[in-house]
Amino acid sequence: MCWGVFTLAVDQPSSQRALKPLYLSKDSLAAAKEKEGLPGDAAKEKEGALEDAGAEAPLGALWSPPAMGIPGTLPSTWAGRQEVAGLRTVLGEDTTGMSHTEGAGPPPALPWPKGTISSLHSGPGHEEQETQQRNGEDDQHDGSASLVWAATPGMLLQKDKQSSLHPLSLSWVLGYNSSLAVHSLMDGEDRVLLYVSSHVGVIHDVLGNRQYHLQGHTNAISCLCVSEDRRWVATADRGPDALIIVWDSYSGMPVRTIFESHAEDGVSAIAVSQDAKYLATVSAGAVQRVCVWKWTSPTEEPVCSTELRPEFGCQDYVIFNPQNPYEFVSNSKSQVIFYLWGDAGLQYGAPLLSSRTFNSSVGHFSQSVFHFNNSRALTGTSAGKLVVWDMVGPPAPSKELLDKPHSTKATRVVPLQKDSLTVLTVFESCIVTGDVKGQVKFYDGQLQLLACYSHSKVGPIQSISFSKSPPGLPGAFPACSTSCTASSQPVIPRNFILSTSDATVFRVATDGINFEKVMEEAKKAVNAIACHPRHALLAVGSRCGLLQVWGYQQTKYLVSRVFTEAGIQCLSYDPKGYFLAAGFTDGSVHILDAISLQSSCKAFKFSRGPVTHISFSHDSEYLATADENYTVTVYKRALQNGSGCWEHLAGLRSHYKPIRSILFGVQLDSSQPRLLSLGEDRQLVEYDLHGSSKDHMVVLQRHRVEQVAVPLCLAWYPQLSTESFILTANNCYKMKLYNTTTKMCRKTLLGPTYGSPLEKIQILTTSNTTDPQKHYLAYITKDKVGLQILPMDGNPHKSSAFICHPDGVSDLASSCDGLYVFTAGGNDCTVMKWEVSLTALDAAASLGGEDLIPFYNLLDGGREGEFFRELEDYFYYAQLRSHGIDTLETRQVSTHIPLEEIPSVMRAMGFYPSEEKIEEMINEVKFSKYVDIGEQVTKINLGDFIKLYINHRPAFGLSMKKIQHAFQVLGHDNENGDKVIDRRDLLLLLQCRGEHMTEEELAQCLTTLLGKHPGEGGSEPDTYDPSGAAAVTEDEIPEEITAEIFAADILGLPIAEPEKKNQKKEMNLWSMKTQKHS
């Protein structure tokens, strides 16, 4: 009896996940195939194929990447990966390219490994043990394994949409990475494309208007490849924790994940062998590493690898020899490298070629291919030429390498055309080129032109992908028919897909006449999006000047307009939905009809720099913009000749640092609009629109909203109480509520902490009739999109975030009904539509616990930890101190402390707030009930104190990097090249900069920190004598102070060992200098 083997991934954390072997007898396999609809004879036939094919290793476990770097979140499409953990080797079509007839049951399996079965089956009774193991787990994994086993072409896009289990789930992607190839997965009745959008692979059914998303990467995908049978897709990325993921395009399941393949730099190029068993990857580092992977093996190590010399240039293209999987070629712009691998490792040759070789200009290399006669290779160049490489020695026929691999040299350079060649590929027995003029040319093996396809609207070609099989016919056509009349071209037997570098995709029919435009997306960065206030419309603006309106319910573009003068930087609909305003990179402002995109009036150009923000007032009477010149400009609607028009009102340079937000609101005592702007200069400016006149902008109020942090965004907080608030978020992960009238900070809250601060926020429109007090906030960080439950209280379980654009999010918009959130990716040229599930968000929040439980978990050690017990002790000590330590009177039992004790307890717990921060904390508690009951709060209990502490303390504590940064700014270089501050300068800075300290306060703080009581040599915190403080300061503080000395010896903070060693060395040098001086 013969046995096959595949592995199971135990559903555990990645650090503990183990591989568990599972063995299937041939009888069991045959039974399974018959169950799937295959007749017994067919099953036997397939068993024989398994024995003959002989793969080198069992398939790897379906390992899941980390959960996108976001605590408590998991991409929705990864759930399926957990379900198919029982399937390993049964991966669909035969990798030798044998086509699978529709309706004949499941496709053949991958070949079974050779040389591994006997080692896995040793000792008597092993067979029985394996059978029992299989029987015990069969029921659990049978259904999940069939997801890949029973998958057929087109099945993926026929799935019914299921409700999401996550607060945000990716629903649609606009745009794609035009620098990567677009592949044709299916053609004919179903036209299915595969392309990359940011960190997502998109399988797009063009005719069915459906998308399926391959989610798993946390960085932008840098390269991809597809197997010859179009079933297996491999994607790789660059950046931290780079991944290589192999997908089954039939089921959409990830079947193999390779972690830390090129951990430092990621992957710049990837290729799959003709038999789909091997991957070749090239790293993206300065010193590139080339690896060969047997992706069907569970090992995380490559079969072989080698490093390339930097002088070879950045190798950004790689391809296998279709007739020999142990041979492949890669190229940079200046060097072509040939590889041969096997048991002896990976060896390569880098033949030299320059303009002197053939006394002819060669140009830069673009792509390379192997000639179909298996003795030559070709490389296209920017000079429109083909370099022909010939193998000097015989190629290795199998995995065993020769002692010395065959060498390769350039034998001739063939000038094909004047235009640069951008694409070079082999299609059956034709050599196909694509160029910068949009031409596709077919040549025979002797480089004689057979056919040329071109169209005036096709730009520089980026990729060419042929359909899997000829349309409408069961068999294959001859490769390239050369029989043609004078009025016709040779017949190319398959349709093909062209993608261009200007983000356009065409489908070319076999008659050579029909160039069908399949997709046309933004060519440059997409920085601006806006949702219509009443209809399911999304406006998308690009730096290339393309403005498109997309119907997000029917998922198609409705109207577009191209502005050739400048790029679009920001967009906004007016609240009534009549106008769409666009701000441009040249400072101009266009006000357009919201439906036709025709101009409603002439363009304005009053800004001296690119317009960064644009917004309408609630009554559509005012339009305000902010630009990179820190100027706010206001336009007003007016009547001219009996019809409405827009005119410039005034502008003002109201900030001295970049403006982060402009916001219209409504006056509390009237329906008049009010306008505010928030800048990185920490100024919140309110303008007097009613009092402003032509060319004269009046500022009503100006408030500094932060002391140290930088405010980043601004929004009106929902009316959840009788008091109205403005909500801001800063770069210290804090969100603050300010009274809309007095601008007093009424509350500070811990915001979402997902790697970077909030960049933009929007209140979602909801129709929550069950709880009118519950609202929701959408936000974006540097690379994520998320939701937050309102009212906010600092509970981290009330927010959730997902990676949306790893290279940066540029804009955020939400639909008029609050069911969708949209993000723009800037330089990745994509827009993503996210479906909102508030039920899932509420469920996740409830799982985090109620009342104080979430806040206890934020304390070091939790509710039962030492930190909490210490906090209780300090809290009760503050109660005793408030009644007097030495009092003999009966003490009143209380669970509160006076507000005056808050600073002492905060500092005792290691949080040292500034005087302004202390005032904000006390006022937050004091006026918390003033609006409701008209009385001030004078005391606080332990639970409220814990919330106050959690919300106000630094989100990530005090780091050594912050202290070092301060010394970088304030210090100077000493003779050793270290940043230092002189003792005298430090004392002056503490007394004159920031919150000023008196000389007595400074002396008291320093003597207390240094643990010295002048004149007595002891430490008494309750008594202080200022006499002799200066002498102690001079004795204990060196003349030159580094960041390490300040942190360790003055503040008494623990620092890392290397920093301690450097600090000890500096102290020894200072001691030696002091002794020498004395």
Confidence at 730, pLDDT banded by 50, 70, 90? very high
User: Tokens 């070091």 label which residue?
Assistant: 860
Q: Report helix, strand or coil for 129.
A: helix
Query: Phi, psi at residue 498, to the nearest 5°?
Result: -110, 135
Q: H or E stretch including 775?
A: strand 775-780
- 3-class DSSP assignment, residue 931: helix
Residue type at 540 in one-letter notation: V
CA angle 960, 962, 967 (to 5 degrees): 95
Give, in order, the Cα–Cα distances in Å from 181 to each of 177, 225, 349, 504, 1043: 8, 9, 27, 12, 51
Residue 761, pLDDT score: 97
pLDDT tens digits for 949-966? 999 999 988 788 888 888
CA-wise closest residue to 236 among 259, 213, 255 = 259
Distance, in Å, from the CA atom of 1027 to the CA atom of 1007, rounded to the nearest integer, reads: 11
Query: What pLDDT is stored for residue 143 in this prediction?
Result: 46
pLDDT at 406 over 80: no
Cα–Cα distance between 638 and 475 in angstroms, integer? 70
3-state secondary structure of 402: coil
* CA-based nearest residue to 515, from 420, 438, 427: 438
The three state secondary structure string of 678-723 is EECCCEEEEECCCCCECCECCEEEEEECCCCCCEEEEEECCCCCCC
Mean pLDDT of 46-54: 36
Q: Which amino acid is at 408?
A: T
Q: What is the mean pLDDT of residues 581-587?
A: 96
Assigned token pair, 227 = 């197997």
Give the span between the Cα atoms of 3 and 251, in whole angstroms: 26
3-state secondary structure 625-647: EEECCCCEEEEEEEEECCEEEEE
CB–CB of 621/579 below 8 Å?
no
* Tokens 């946390």 found at: 218
Percent helix, strand and coil across the chain, each to the nearest 5 = 20, 35, 45
Residue 722 reports pLDDT greater than 90: no
Please provide the average confidence, as pLDDT, over all residues in the chain.
Answer: 81
Q: Judge whether residue 898 has pLDDT over 50.
A: yes
| Cα 727 → chain centroid | 26
CA angle, residues 974, 979, 984, in degrees to nearest 5: 75
How many residues does the structure list for the chain? 1078
- Distance between CA atoms of residues 368 and 328, nearest Å: 10
Identify each DSSP E strand in 179-295 by its residue range: 183-186, 192-197, 200-205, 210-214, 221-226, 232-237, 243-248, 253-259, 267-272, 278-283, 289-294
Over 50: is that where the pLDDT of 510 sits?
yes
What is each CA distance from 835 to 67, 164, 467, 814, in whole angstroms?
Answer: 19, 8, 33, 10
Q: How many other CB atoms are found less than 10 A from the CB of residue 308?
A: 22
Give the confidence band of 1050 by pLDDT, cuts at 50, 70, 90: confident
Radius of gyration (C-alpha) of the chain in whole angstroms: 34
- Side chain identity at 329, as an amino acid letter? V
| Residue 419 buriedness (CB in 10 A; 0-12 / 13-18 / 19+) | middle
For the chain, the distance separating the N- and C-terminal CA atoms, rounded to the nearest angstrom, is: 92
Q: Are the beta carbons of 559 and 596 closer than 8 angstroms?
A: yes
Q: Which of 270-279, 442-451, 1010-1019 has the highest mean pLDDT?
A: 270-279
The 10s digit of each residue's pLDDT in 333-359 is 999 999 999 988 999 999 988 877 787
Separation between Cα atoms, residue 729 and residue 751, nearest integer Å: 8
Q: Which range among 86-95, 97-106, 754-763 has the greatest average pLDDT?
A: 754-763
pLDDT in tens, 97-116: 333 333 333 333 333 333 22
Residues 607-629 have pLDDT tens digits of 989 999 999 999 999 999 999 99
- Res 862: pLDDT: 92
Q: How many CA atoms lie within 13 A of 430 on its CB side?
A: 23
Q: Which pLDDT tens digit goes with each residue over 796-843?
A: 999 999 999 999 999 999 999 999 999 999 999 999 999 999 999 999
What does the pLDDT read at residue 1001?
84
- Sign of dihedral through CA atoms 795, 798, 802, 804? negative
Residue 236 CA to residue 242 CA, distance in Å, equals: 7
The Cβ of residue 910 has, within 10 Å, a number of other Cβ atoms equal to 13
Residue 545 · residue 563 · CB < 8 Å:
yes
CA distance 375 to 389: 9
